[in-house]
A = this chain, B = another copy of it.
Amino acid sequence: MVTPLKDNNTLDIKGLESLIEYIISGGVHGLFILGTTGEGTNLRFELRYDLIQRVCLQVSKRVPVLVGITDTSLAESIKMAEKAAKYGADAVVSSPPYYFKLCQSELVGYYNDLANRLPLPLFLYNMPEHTKVYFEPETVREIAKNNRVIGLKDSSGNSVYFQTLIHAMKDNLKFSLLVGPDIITAESVLLGGHGGVNGGANLFPRLYVDMYKAAVTRDFNRLVPIQEKIRQLWYSIYFVIKSSSCHLTGIKCALSLMKICNDFVASPFHKLNEKEKATILQFLEELDYKNLM
C-alpha cells in the first residue's frame, strides 16, 4: 500500500481512509504497509508509527496487516515491530540492512538476532535492487529453521531465483513464497508461488484479486486478458519518468486522478508534474480505468 501524504511530515488522513476502504473492497487478502512502494524508509519514524496505528484501527482485523520494519539499525526495526504488535498488526516484513552490503552468513546472523526479539511473525523481503544482496536459497532454509519466520516476498523479478527458492523450500509446507512485481505474479502462482504483493493493487485491487484467483484455478480464459491488462498497466503507468521512484510516483498520481488520495511523494522524490499527470490520465483512459475500479 502506498502511504498517502500531504507533505513530507503529514499523512493525508482522509486519503488514507479512502484508500484502505477502496483496497479492501477489492477483495484483497491482506495489506502490506511501509514497504518499498509505501516509502517506508523515506518517512520519519513518528509518522510511520502513526500510520501503523491508523491502518490497524481502520482495518479492524478485516484482513491481516503486515508492517515493513526494514531499517539499518536493528534496534529501530525492533521498536517498529513493537509498535506494530501494540497496535494490532499481524506480521512484520524485513529486508536486510541496506547501507553495508551483507554476506550470506551475516544475513543468517542478523535474522536470528531479529526474529528472536520480535513480538510478531516475520516475512523476509528479498529486494536486491535496493539492498544489494539476495537471500540465497540455502540462506532462506537456514533462517526459516526459526519458526517465527513464516514466508518471503521476492521482489527481484528474477524467476530463476524464485523457482530455485520453491525447490529449496519444498519440504517446508508452512512457508509462504510471495512475489512482488505485478507482471509476474500470475506465472509464479501457476507454477508454485503462493501469491503476490502487488503495487498495482493500490489502483485496481479487484483486477489483481481476479488475476490471483484465475491463476490459482488455472482458468486461462479469464487469466489471459487480465494478464494483458496488467502488462499494459505496467508498461504505461509505471514508467512515465526516469527514476527509481517511477512505479510509486505513477501509482500515486493515478490514485489522485481517481480521487482516492493525494499524490504527494516524500523526499528525495517528487510527485509528477502537470504534463506527466496528463500522460498518466491518458494511460488510465487507455486502460478503461473506470471499469477496473
Contact = CB atoms under 8 A, between A and B. Distances in A.
Interface of A: 8-9, 36, 41-45, 47, 70, 72-76, 79, 96-103, 106-107, 109-110, 113, 129-130, 132, 137, 157-161, 163-164, 166-168, 170, 181, 183-184, 186-188, 190-192, 218, 220, 223-224, 227-228, 231-232, 234-235, 242-245, 266-270
Contacts of A107: 268
A167 B234 contact: yes
Given A100-B245, A159-B183, A191-B224, 14 more contacts: A43-B73, A43-B75, A45-B73, A74-B268, A98-B99, A100-B130, A159-B159, A159-B184, A160-B183, A164-B231, A164-B234, A166-B231, A167-B232, A186-B191
For the complex formed by this chain, how many copies does it contain in all?
4
Given A43-B73, A75-B44, A100-B245, A110 B267 contact: yes
Contact of A106 (B102, B192, B269): B269
Counting from the closest, the 4 A-B pairs by CB-CB distance are: A44-B75, A157-B160, A159-B159, A110-B268
A70 B36 CA distance: 19
Nearest to A45: B76
A99 B42 contact: yes
